[in-house]
Chain A
Amino acid sequence: MTQALVKNPFIKFPDCLAEFLDDPPLVGDETRESYNSFFAAIVVGLKPDDSIDWLYCKDVVDLFWQIRRERTILASVVKLHQTEVVRDLLKAAADTSNALESAVYRIFDASDDAQRWASDPAVRKEIDARLSAKGHPPTAVLAEAYKRGASDIDAIDKRIAWYEARRTEIIREIERRNVRLARDLDIASSPVIDGEFSEAAE
């Protein structure tokens, strides 16, 4: 998230909650500025009314944040498994005319080539062409990577689904609380309004 969601990402938490909300647990290259910018955007949308609403807002922000982290991990999982598949295919496709060279390549060089495939686009293109010629196009490599990483991918997908369900539930809870607040205000203010009108009638 490189672009700020709101012009001024400064966010002022209620004083009593500052100690709990002011120290977001950030990871890697995540910045405080982008987190606050995101929080400010959510606050503008959800309009927290009291401390409980603020805590719910933090939950919503953290869940969005968590989903973003999980998606990054998901991309890493696929890439890791793709690299592994490429390594295995390179080993299997090694030139067998020279037994010694082939063995050296399988033991030492195939892993290095697979790593270069993952990090260098030029090498990737060259290896993809080599593997395609042997009947392993990039789509087949990707499919095999998904197959191998199925349990990891499934675990991440389940977590993302759970975070999304929780986020929806919290947003509903904030709405429910606001509806209740509006109803309570209506009930509390009715006698006052009725009283004013009856006094005026007398």
Chain B
Amino acid sequence: MTSDRQLTANRTNAKKSKGPTSISGKLRSRKNALRHGLAVSLDRDPSLRAGLDRMTQILSRASEEPIITLTTQDAAAAEIDLLRIGKIRALSFDTFHKSERSLQDLTRLNQELRKLDRYERRAFSRRRRALNSV
């Protein structure tokens, strides 16, 4: 067990910390809170943005719209999200398959899938609403 003296020293040292100083450390710590990236707006990632633009064009052509509407953009964003969720879900299953497949691994998989389901339900509803109105 940590002694009181050690605890005080740890806290004092922690207060002196200014976080990571090297570029690689900063790049790494930037992703500390990142789990799956589904909460990030598609606009903030250039590769996703390009995919979103192409999907919007495809849906707009399929709906025979003279111009691209916000509803089509919504449908395209939801579709891109659904595709991303599918890939992240496959990654979670892959991690489970490569693990020892213990009960702890299973609990972890269930937790990850529960979070993904929440995003998927939202994306699915968004796409349904948007596609029904185009």
Q: Which residues of A contact B (CB under 8 A)?
A: 16-17, 19-20, 25-28, 50-52, 55, 59, 62, 66, 69, 73, 76-77, 80-81, 84, 152, 155-156, 159, 162, 166, 169, 173
Contact = CB atoms under 8 A, between A and B. Distances in A.
A159 B103 contact: no
Contacts, number: 65
A55 B54 CA distance: 14
B106 A80 contact: yes
B55 A20 contact: yes
B62 A152 contact: no
B129 interface: no
Interface of B: 51, 54-55, 57-59, 61-63, 79, 82-83, 86-87, 89-91, 93-94, 96-97, 101-103, 106-107, 109-110, 113-114, 117, 121, 124, 128, 131
A122 B100 CA distance: 23
B93 A52 contact: no
Given A25-B89, A73-B109, A80-B102, A51 B117 contact: no
A152 B87 contact: no
A78 to B, nearest CB: 11
Nearest to B97: A28
A16 B58 contact: yes
